[in-house]
Amino acid sequence: MQIPVDIISGFLGAGKTTLLQKLLNECYKNQKIFLLENEFGQVGIDGALLAEQNVEMKEIYSGCICCSLKGDFTQVLLETLEQVKPQRIIIEPTGVGKLSEILAILRQDILKDKLTADNIITVIDAQKALMYLKNFGEFFKDQIRHAQTLMLSKTKDINWQEIQDLIQALKPLNTSAQWVTTPWNELTGSQILRARTPITTYMTTHLPPIIKLPGLQNPGGYSTKTYHHHQHSLSCGCHPSGQSHKQTPLATDTFQSWSWENPKKFSPEAIQKIVTSLPEEKKYGQILRAKGIVPGENAWIHFEYVSGNWDIVAGTPQPTGRAVVIGIDLQEEQLNQLFEA
């Protein structure tokens, strides 16, 4: 059995240890954890901060585990598997380490059948990211390019438009990673780990229960339905005239989905304007379903839309604002303008 390995990467001072403490406290209490800390220097400060955590820990000093200490790093991992027998390994590399080289070490022949990379997170200091991009591009870009989840830290005093501009500047480096823009104290550790889930899956499986938000009324009413998917043989009888699945158009041939992620804050009235605009078929396409959870001016907002019926309710904080629209002949540019106006 392969042991999962989490990597908490990020440039100097981004907040890696703070995030690690949160995950240890909230997500890994019932697991046997081995923590590997790498300090680029002679003294381990982060190790002292984490010493009170109930985990096995090893610190490697005086270099970077992805280059000068590669052999030491590999040996520590092999000894850990043999002696500690952890259920999970967490690596916090030095802020000047390259994430790609950490991952390459895990893919060595001697380790690849024993370990598997699980959560790969890079923490980004939102206040200093553009300066790091300009001055330390080789290391900073590498940490962004190879992450599954990109977490912005120190966002409390930055408005949503500045955050969105930063994301647009960095996104070309990694178009597949999921972003976390919400202040960490508003999220649980589990929400942070689930943030790597693709947006369409996340919106389908991880939305919290809805709580009615007073003040907004939908004259059409709204009901929540549960849709079931089942698999069947070629002659399952669920298609007309004995038509097989092979002869039936796939959903991807008929329906489209549009996904949107943005830290923009909305008022309930602004969301109401959006959902009441969605039936404009000539402008936006034929929209069958839409849902989203976005930051509000005072609280998070959760909206649901099904073929003309809609509801707006109170939401719980999420890694970032998200929305998904499903329909036919979707006009993506018009939808972008609708949500970002």
pLDDT digits (tens, 9 = 90+) for 309-340: 888 988 889 899 988 888 889 999 999 999 99
User: Coil, helix or strand for 190?
Assistant: helix
Q: Which residues of the chain have pLDDT under 70?
A: 39-53, 61-70, 199-254
Specify the pLDDT at position 236: 35
Angle of CA points 198, 199, 201, to nearest 5°: 70
Distance CA 249, CA 258 (A): 20
Residue 225, class by beta-carbon neighbours within 10 Å (0-12 exposed, 13-18 middle, 19+ buried)?
Answer: exposed
Burial class (CB within 10 angstroms; exposed 0-12, middle 13-18, buried 19+) of 305:
buried
Residues 291, 302: Cα–Cα separation, whole Å: 8
Paired tokens of 277: 């605009």
Q: Which domains does the chain have, with CATH numbers?
A: 3-196 (3.40.50.300), 211-222+231-340 (3.30.1220.10)
Calculate the CA dihedral of residues 178, 336, 126, 269 and round it to 10 degrees.
Answer: -110
Q: What pTM did the predictor assign?
A: 0.71
Query: pLDDT, tens digit, for every residue of 171-227?
Result: 999 999 999 999 999 999 999 999 888 766 666 665 554 444 445 554 443 333 322
Alpha-carbon gap, residue 129 to 336, rounded angstroms: 26
**What is the pLDDT at residue 220?**
40
